[in-house]
Amino acid sequence: MKKLALAPLLLALALLLTACGVGGAVASRLVQGNLDAIYFGEPGEDYFELVNATPEDIEETYQQGMEVEAQTFAYYYSVDYLPDDLLAEIADMYKQIYQSAKYEVGTASELSDGSYAVPVTVYPLNILELVNERGAEYTEAYNAQFTDGQIASMTEEEYMEYDAGWARTIVQCCLDCIPDMDYMEPESLVIQVAQDSDGYWRMNEDDFAAFDAAVIYYP
């Protein structure tokens, strides 16, 4: 399952320091703060001493991240329409799920090119595995209200309403599964922190994408 990109969110989560001002501890703190900002919306007060961002930037980044997750959810479960109210509901669901996100950031090591390799361990959440196991009961009950002929003859407005009901049915299944979700076997990854042409120290986008794809397991 390829998730939608969160890379644009990293633009606000960058560290502006001269090369001599960066060390392994700072690189690790940048990664820890970035991840905490994206998944919890709470990077810690000392984080703002490092990055070119304000608390308002972090809140906006956090909300955007949850909306990207909502779009991924819609794609994964074949939701055709995603109006603002439904987008907000799904984003709020992901906020609840990510309160259980679990990862550990290790000590960075400097590479030969002056960048830093930051080891991270992530414990994937199995909630969507639970949803896929239990979801048929929910979706079959929802679809039992309609015949194929009724669905085929729906106007666009009627289909949008049907589609939203389908999405909310799966959302409800997700919410019901939250108390039972658990962690899967941990995965060990590395996130590189390097200085770009503008002098900002950033997490490598591909490394972050690999990490993000592991936080919630998509069967």
pLDDT of residue 53: 78
pTM of the complete model: 0.90
Task: Report yes or no: 108 and 193 within 8 Å, Cβ to Cβ.
Answer: yes
Q: Please list the pLDDT of the chain residue by residue as tens digits (219 residues).
A: 444 444 455 555 555 443 345 788 999 998 999 999 999 999 988 888 888 778 898 898 899 889 999 999 999 999 999 999 999 999 999 999 999 999 999 999 999 999 999 999 999 999 999 999 999 999 999 999 999 999 999 999 999 999 999 999 999 999 999 999 999 999 999 999 998 887 888 889 899 989 999 999 999
Q: Residue 39: CA atoms inside 13 Å, Cβ hemisphere, count?
A: 22
pLDDT of residue 19: 39
pLDDT of residue 156: 96
SS3 for 105-158 is ECCCEECCCCCEEEEEEECCECHHHHHHHHHHHHHHHHHCCCCHHHHHCCCHHH
pLDDT of residue 61: 87
What lies within 8 Å, CB to CB, of 102 at 6+ separation is: 122, 123, 125, 183
